[in-house]
A and B are shown apart, each in its own frame.
Chain A
Amino acid sequence: MAPAPPSERPVVRTGRVPGRLGNRVFSGISTGAGILILVILAAVAAFLLIRAIPAFQASREDFADIDFMLGRDLWGFVGPLVFGTVISSTIALLVAVPLSIGIALFISHYAPRKLAQGLGYLIDLLAAIPSVIFGLWGIQWLQPLVSPLFSWLSENLGFIPLFTDYQAPARNIMTAGLVLAIMILPIITATIREVFLQTPRLHEEASLALGATRWEMIRQAVLPFGRSGIISASMLGMGRALGETMAVLMVLSPGYLINFFLLQPGQHQSIAANIASHFPEASGLGVDVLIASGFILFLLTFGVNLVARWIINRRAEFSGAN
């Protein structure tokens, strides 16, 4: 049979090709969603900044008739709040991250499969509890529980400024930090667990075959692999802790000082809780001041995320992502 004559049509199709439409629609939707997120972010930042400008420009005299500023200027007002926010979130992270890593490791590498699943659900459930409930729990349950512990700390380690002069009830920044820790525990644990579960079997076996015990294998293969995931998860938790309002508002007896007396009430306050407690009766410039503090909280959260990105990227080469 003679070979078929070359057809008139070019081999590579030109013009409309079936299936292209869906492709275009999808890429349009995802690009659009990406742009939308950027626009919303920019809109929030712009709103905060524009409303905050009057507060940034006002002088100390202008603030005189805003009760909650207690006669201080803007930075004298915001400074202690930033400090209180950072301190409570730091306590929360210091407590929550090691605990989360432990729980996540238990779920991913130690617990029998049935138990691991149950625990996983339980942790997810914990994430769904509203923060008011955590606030109530903090006051009613945690506070009396930690009180004796705090007195003991104060009596025996009181020479460390952190633990000096505990005063009951335990409505101090330490208790607030502990409540925050419990609140951010689920999201951190769930994220870290996912990362740990993704450790390549290949690397775990490489370690075991070298004669590593299970714990050595975890240190050699699982933890280094999960490092950037742990940092991301911590930042997620930190973001939540920085902005958490209700629980801090309910647990903490507020004060506007910058000091490290973690066990004394009436020393600290967080930005978010402060906005919530004063917003209802604020008016005029008072509102602007609160919005300005909100803007600073926004920057703080943003900064924390940038630092986290930077830490993660610094050793991206060794991350195993390639």
Chain B
Amino acid sequence: MSKRIDVSDLNAYYGDFLAVEGVDMVIEPRTVTALIGPSGCGKSTFLRTLNRMHEVIPGAYVTGKAVMDGQDLYGPGIDPVEVRRQVGMVFQRPNPFPTMSIEDNVLAGVKLNNRRMKKADADELVEGALTAANLWNEVKDRLDRPGSSLSGGQQQRLCIARAIAVQPQVLLMDEPCSALDPISTLAIEDLISELKNDYTIVIVTHNMQQAARVSDRTGFFNIAGTGRPGHLIEMDDTTTMFSTPTVKATEDYISGRFG
């Protein structure tokens, strides 16, 4: 359950505004790829092109290719809905459905594909997804409580459980820890390291230590100035990126000299 994605010459627009330009990137299966870069350089925008969530915004569109398993995600006849079932997403702010119980939140995506599900199967799936998200022990006695009754860190893990319950090929995470305390952050980082065994993970983060801790590959985005498009400046193994980057801007950013 993990796929490689080949992105080539990808541009992302908001109406007339070109936000991200000319990205070529290979995302390897069963690895964690971290995207770093200063605010506004288009990391979120690029991430959302990988599951076609970008075009949900009115006027937004994408040109270029993102090939997963030989199939261009932007090819003709590809339904964005199907893409999103294969490429899951975890957002910056935890967003469990407030009108659903914890259990129903985990099953939310599954029920879209498969309305009628045996109770036993559903229970098993809920336990599996919550266990994988390291949340089972904390919530197993209150599965019928609203998702919004959990702490922020628990809610984020619930969202991860919801995303992996549909067994996607790829999991995208946009600053999944930025709304969380250090303990919850560590819990999620551990979780990411475990999930790597089964999923291809792409994570956007502002936290250099986090990128260094969890990722195998790191891509650095930058922007020449406000109103200019963001570019992928450099991408390499994380250890290389953090020790001997080839581009000066990468080194400056990683060592905290700007951004």
User: Inside 8 A of B98's CB, which chain A residues have their CB?
Assistant: 203, 225, 318-320, 322
Instruction: Tell me, in angstroms, the Cα distance from A320 to B147 when the chains sit together.
Output: 10
B51–A209 contact, CB under 8 A?
yes
Contact B95 A320 (CB under 8 A): no
Do residues A206 and B91 form an inter-chain contact, with CB atoms below 8 A? yes
Task: Write 17 A-B pairs (CB below 8 A) sorted by A numbering.
Answer: A113-B58, A202-B93, A206-B95, A209-B51, A209-B53, A209-B88, A210-B84, A211-B112, A211-B166, A212-B81, A220-B108, A224-B97, A224-B99, A318-B98, A318-B146, A319-B99, A322-B148
Other A-B pairs, 16, CB within 8 Å; known A202-B95, A206-B97: A206-B95, A206-B96, A207-B97, A207-B108, A209-B163, A210-B85, A210-B109, A211-B82, A211-B84, A211-B85, A212-B81, A213-B81, A220-B108, A225-B99, A320-B99, A320-B148
B211 at interface, CB cutoff 8 A: no
Chain A residues whose C-beta falls within 8 Å of the C-beta of B244 in the assembled complex:
none
Asked if A216 CB lies within 8 Å of chain B CBs, one says: yes
B88-133 interface (Cβ within 8 A of A): 88-89, 91, 93, 95-101, 108-109, 112-113
A227 within 8 A of partner (CB)? yes
Known pairs A113-B58, A205-B91; A216 contacts B112 (CB<8 A): yes
Q: Across the interface, which residues of A come within 8 angstroms of B56, CB to CB?
A: 205, 208
CB-contact partner of A210 in B93, B100, B101, B108, under 8 A: B108
- Which A residues lie within 8 Å of B81 (CB)? 211-213
Q: Quick check: is B162 within 8 A (CB to CB) of the other chain?
A: yes
Interface size class of B (residues with CB under 8 A): 20 to 34
Return the chain A residue nearest B82 by Cβ: A211
- The answer to whether B99 touches A227 (Cβ under 8 A) is yes
A210 touches B95 (CB 8 A): no
Contact of A211 among B58, B97, B113 (CB under 8 A): B113
B201 at the interface (CB under 8 A from A): no
Task: Check B159 for interface membership: any CB of A closer than 8 A.
Answer: yes
Q: Which of A197-250 contact B (CB under 8 A)?
A: 200, 202-203, 205-213, 216, 220-221, 224-225, 227
CB A87 to nearest CB in B, in angstroms, measures: 33
From known contacts A203-B95, A225-B99, A322-B148, infer whether A212 and B112 are also in contact, taking CB-CB under 8 Å.
yes
CB distance from B61 to the nearest CB of A (A): 16
| A8 contacts chain B at the CB level, 8 A cutoff | no
A209 touches B89 (CB 8 A): yes
User: A-contacting residues of B (Cβ < 8 Å)?
Assistant: 51, 53, 56, 58, 81-82, 84-85, 88-89, 91, 93, 95-101, 108-109, 112-113, 146, 148-149, 159, 162-163, 166
Is A317 among interface residues, defined by CB-CB distance under 8 A? yes
User: In whole angstroms, what is the CA distance A320 to B96 when docked?
Assistant: 10
A residues apposed to B, CB below 8 Å? 113, 200, 202-203, 205-213, 216, 220-221, 224-225, 227, 317-320, 322
A210 touches B99 (CB 8 A): no
Distance between B167 CB and nearest chain A CB, rounded to angstroms: 11
Chain B residues positioned under 8 Å from A211 (CB to CB): 81-82, 84-85, 109, 112-113, 166
Minimum CB–CB distance for A306 against chain B, Å: 23
In the bound assembly, the distance between CA atoms of A242 and B166 in angstroms comes to: 48
- Complex formed: what's the CA distance from A320 to B100 in Å? 9
Most chain-A CB neighbours within 10 Å: which of B53, B85, B95, B109? B95
Pick the most buried of A113, A209, A224, A318: most chain B CB atoms within 10 A of its CB: A209
Among A113, A203, A209, A227, which residue has its beta carbon within 8 angstroms of that of B97?
A: A203
Chain A: which residue is nearest B83 at the CB level? A211
Return chain A residues, CB-CB under 8 Å to B112: 210-212, 216, 220
Among B84, B95, B100, B163, which residue has its beta carbon within 8 angstroms of that of A318?
Answer: B100
Identify the closest chain B residue to A113 (Cβ). Answer: B58
Neighbouring B residues of A317 by C-beta, 8 Å: 146, 149
Q: Which residues of A contact B96 (CB under 8 A)?
A: 206
Nearest residue (CB) in B for A225 is B99
- In Å, the complex CA distance between A317 and B112 comes to 24
Distance of A216 Cα from B56 Cα, bound (Å) = 15
Bound together, the chains give a CA A317 to CA B166 distance in angstroms of 27
CA distance A216 to B80 in the complex (A): 14
What are the residues of chain B within 8 A of A224 when measuring CB–CB? 97, 99-100
Closest 5 CB pairs of A and B: A320-B98, A211-B85, A210-B109, A224-B99, A209-B89
Asked whether, in the complex, the Cβ of A318 is within 8 Å of the Cβ of B99, the reply is yes
Q: How far is the CB of A47 from chain B (nearest CB, A)?
A: 42
CB neighbours of B51 from chain A (8 A): 209
Find the A residue at minimum CB distance from B51. Answer: A209
How far apart sit A206 and B91, CA to CA, in the bound complex (Å)?
8
> How many angstroms between the C-alpha atoms of A65 and B59 in the bound complex?
73
Q: B84 touches which one: A113, A209, A319, A322 (CB < 8 A)?
A: A209
